[in-house]
Amino acid sequence: MKTIIIHSQDLSLAQKLSTSLKGELEQRKRHFRIHTSNSFNLDQLRELNKVDLNLVSEVFNFSEVKLLVSDMDSTLITIETIDEIAKAVGMSNEVAEITEQAMQGNLDFTESFKKRVSILSGVNTSSFEAVYNNHLQLSPGVPELIKFFKSLGIKSAVVSGGLVYFAERLKNQLGLDTFQANNVEIDNNCLTGKVLGKVIDAKEKAIYIYELCDLYQLKTEQVIAIGDGANDLEMMKIAGISVAYQAKPVLQKTCDIVINYSGLDSVVDFFDYDF
């Protein structure tokens, strides 16, 4: 017997799916569950019905979750911040393709980051503020998800392969506990094109989870990690549960939870409460 969560409140869709799987339908406040012994292909069902479907884990206990670690660009927010800076200064063509290739996992992240920052050499930091104020939007369901986690006393952190400026402001805006991101050299309010210190790549994101677990006295199994790009893969591997949000194919294949159609607050559906 398996339990599928339908991250939707569409009753007719839930009934249709339940019938096709010869399952028993259960209605929760903000989603449906199907209990079935039938075999099924989850990817096909998702694609066919354009709805988020995920299995209820038989081993993972969501009440054990004590820390959320999330990627920033294209995860908590809808944009790639470095691409938006490049766009604002007319260098989109040079930068956006490098970002895309890095997120697909086709380029070494550290090299790609250094290259992008060097292309942006001379850019005034006032463009950061303009991008944050005018172009940065939270992904759907983010405020609700953070509020929910806070109500359960779950700590939260944003870890980003982007710039400190954005991660720190986002941390403050959402009221997260902490953040980690990249430092770049700034002189006379302009980027010099140099990166300061280590670049937060896939490996560093995973190390950050270990550091936070040390700090908060937690096990890595108590961490829920959310991301969308190839540079989130390493932290997904060590987290207790991993969420691929509108993610690159490489993540959709390996993560425990896949969300493509609904907001990030769909994660709430896994917690064993009748919301």
Name the active-site residue from 52, 73, 83, 201: 73
Task: CB nearer to Mg ion: give 141 or 229.
Answer: 229
Q: Which of 71, 83, 256, 265 is catalytic?
A: 71
Q: Closer to Mg ion by CB, 21 or 243: give it.
A: 243
- Smallest gap from Cβ 164 to Mg ion, in A, equals 16
Rounded Cα distance between 22 and 19, Å, is 5
71 is an active site residue:
yes
Q: Which of 117, 56, 62 is nearest to 86 (CA)?
A: 117
193 vs 229, which CB is nearer to Mg ion?
229
Binding site for Mg ion (CB under 5 A): 71, 73-75, 228-229
**Count of CB atoms situated within 10 Å of the CB of 9:** 14
Q: How far apart are CA 58 and CA 4, in angstroms?
A: 11
Closest approach, Cβ 211 to Mg ion, in A, equals 20
* Distant-in-sequence, close-in-space partners of 97: CB < 8 Å, separation ≥ 6: none
Yes or no: say if 54 and 258 are a contact pair by the CB < 8 Å rule: yes
Report the alpha-carbon distance of residue 40 to residue 47 in Å, rounded.
13
Min dist. Cβ of residue 150 to Mg ion (A):
23
User: Smallest distance from the beta carbon of 187 to Mg ion, in angstroms?
Assistant: 28
- For the question of residue 52 being annotated catalytic, the response is no
Of residues 21 and 146, the one with the C-beta less far from Mg ion: 146
CA neighbor of 268 nearest in space, from 158, 179, 143: 143
Q: Please list the active-site residues.
A: 71, 73
